Amino acid sequence: MILLISPKDIDEVKEAIDGGADIIDVKNPLEGSLGANFPWVIRETREITPKDKLVSATVGDVPYKPGTVSLAALGAAVSGADYIKVGLYGTSCYNEAVELMDKVVKTVKEVDKNKIVVAAGYADAHRVGAVDPLIIPKIARDSGCDVAMLDTALKDGKTLFDHLNKKLLSEFIEETHSYGLKCALAGSIKKEEIPILKEIGCDIVGIRGAACTKGDRDNGRIKKELVRELLELCRD
């Protein structure tokens, strides 16, 4: 299982790199669970990140506006992101989500067919009116994405496991793999939950809070020592 760490500025990027994170995920927590950061932050992150590591960028907890979101995805792609993550916040059904992600995939793959597009749903979708998290694998498959992901929309102390149990997450992973796609899971993942995700076959675990001082995703700072601890759990 590989480790994705989500820094919010360049100093944190350096800590994540020094800690050995496999994927450096550029986001802006002030704009939401999958809040978008600025193009120059993505660009500088790619410039300082070793070539053997990938840079991911979120384009936001997006509305059901395929044109707007496609332009955001284009911005992330040309700024240097290898992974482009879209939070399906404003899509309320399968058809809307597939339409939006299909346009994003077309946009990104025209820039570089090797770039990776991630359809990200929310385990707590019922709290915000977003698309059912358990159909994200089908949405990813039918829109041509590379990765199906789950996160949590509201960062209020509840984790991924508070909304979906181990059995449901295992089924999510199995379905995703049956389509030939990778699976990424995030959502205030705690250190002790990492071995569970590894056991059920998760490909990528996304973390911010557990890599920050005091476990605080908003006010804490990513530290390389904490990243190393998380990486060891992913590798064991």
Instruction: List active site positions.
Output: 27, 85
- What is the rounded distance in angstroms from the CA atom of residue 147 to the CA atom of residue 151? 13
Q: How far apart are CA 138 and CA 15, in angstroms?
A: 36
Strands annotated E in 138-224: 147-151, 182-185, 204-207
- Tell me the sheet residues that pair with 119: 86, 148
- Tokens for 155, please give them: 């960062």
The one-character DSSP state at 212 is B
Alpha-carbon distance 18 to 202, whole Å?
A: 24
Residue whose pair of structure tokens reads 């496609």 in the numeric block: 70
